[in-house]
Amino acid sequence: VDKGIAGYVATTGKTLNIVDAYSDNRFNRDIDQKTGYKTKTLLCMPIMIQGNIIGVVQM
């Protein structure tokens, strides 16, 4: 759970707005390399119910 950007958000409960995904060492480039797509920005936030993190949304 604590790996990558989504894992960081799930662990800390902090929202991340990353302007340059490739400059963040938590970003996993595997999907980009397989598809040829280059991710530029990421927004990742926790989904919470009554103060408990139940998931993460990453766009």
What is the reported pLDDT for 3? 85
pTM: 0.86
Domain positions in the chain are: 4-58
Beta-carbon contacts of residue 4 (< 8 Å; ≥ 6 apart):
26, 27, 28
CATH class, domain 4-58, is alpha beta
pLDDT at 13 over 80: yes
Mean pLDDT of 11-25: 97
Q: In this predicted model, what pLDDT tens digit does every residue of 19-57 receive, in sequence order? A: 999 999 999 999 999 999 999 999 999 999 999 999 999
E strand or H helix at 55: strand 52-58
Question: 57, 45 in Cβ contact below 8 A?
Answer: yes
